């Protein structure tokens, strides 16, 4: 029996060590990522960023960057050109997504998040974002693109948020249809 007790003790230490290593690795990965939300909402944001990035690689979707301008009248694509960045590179590394739970706007339960024109910080309302992403992946990808446009300098009112979403949907929805056909979905 004594041997079994030692084995259990050893296994317990190994399991705890493995759990600690995984927790530390998870923390490091979260900090190395531009998505600063944890758990399921963080995974949903990462998935939506990837989907939005793939959409923006399509020429028709990328046109939203020239459909809108910043306060100086420059197309939003010019901001990416000045940075020497692609839309996907910008989304995956130069914009940071933070938990917006403490933001007053998230408390309403009516929005997925927001940012200020020119800011590289996008606040995400984790509960609303996660629930929306479970039901409608396109909606969260449109949100990511919409907020990226603001991050690149697009103001709001004008254009109205629904106008921005309409344009993004018009330009970027086709990718979903062609991808679904290509992948057999």
pLDDT (0 to 100) of residue 22: 40
The answer to whether 147 touches 52, Cβ cutoff 8 Å, is no
DSSP states of 86-153: -HHHIIIIISEEEE-TTSHHHHTSS-SEE--TT-SEEEE-HHHHHHHHHH-HHHHHHHHHHHHHHHTT
pTM for the full model? 0.79
Give, for 45, the enclosing helix (H) or strand (E): helix 39-56
The 10s digit of each residue's pLDDT in 30-77 is: 456 999 999 999 999 999 999 999 999 999 999 999 999 999 999 999
Q: Is 163 helix (H, G, I), strand (E, B) or coil?
A: helix
The 10s digit of each residue's pLDDT in 114-154 is: 999 999 999 999 999 999 999 999 999 999 999 999 999 99
CA dihedral 121, 59, 73, 120 (to 10 degrees): 10
The answer to whether 156 touches 150, Cβ cutoff 8 Å, is yes
User: pLDDT tier at 4 (50, 70, 90 boundaries)?
Assistant: low
The answer to whether 68 touches 149, Cβ cutoff 8 Å, is yes
Cis upstream peptide for 158 (omega within 30°): yes
């Amino acid at each position: 029996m004594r041997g079994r007790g030692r084995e259990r003790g050893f296994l317990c230490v190994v399991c705890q060590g493995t759990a600690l290593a995984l927790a530390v690795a998870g923390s490091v990965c979260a900090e190395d990522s531009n998505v600063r939300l944890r758990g399921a909402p963080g995974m949903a944001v990462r998935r939506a960023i990837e989907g939005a990035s793939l959409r923006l690689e399509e020429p028709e979707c990328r046109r939203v960057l020239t459909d809108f301008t910043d306060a100086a009248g420059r197309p939003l694509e010019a901001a990416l050109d000045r940075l020497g960045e692609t839309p996907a590179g910008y989304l995956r590394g130069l914009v940071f997504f933070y938990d917006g739970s403490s933001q007053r706007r998230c408390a309403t339960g009516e929005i997925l998040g927001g940012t200020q024109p020119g800011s590289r910080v996008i606040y995400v309302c984790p509960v609303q974002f996660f629930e929306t992403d479970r039901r409608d992946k396109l909606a969260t990808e449109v949100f990511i693109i919409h907020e990226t446009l603001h991050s690149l300098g697009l103001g709001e009112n004008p254009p109205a948020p629904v106008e921005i979403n309409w344009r993004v949907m018009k330009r970027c929805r086709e990718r979903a249809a062609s991808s679904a056909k290509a992948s057999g979905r």
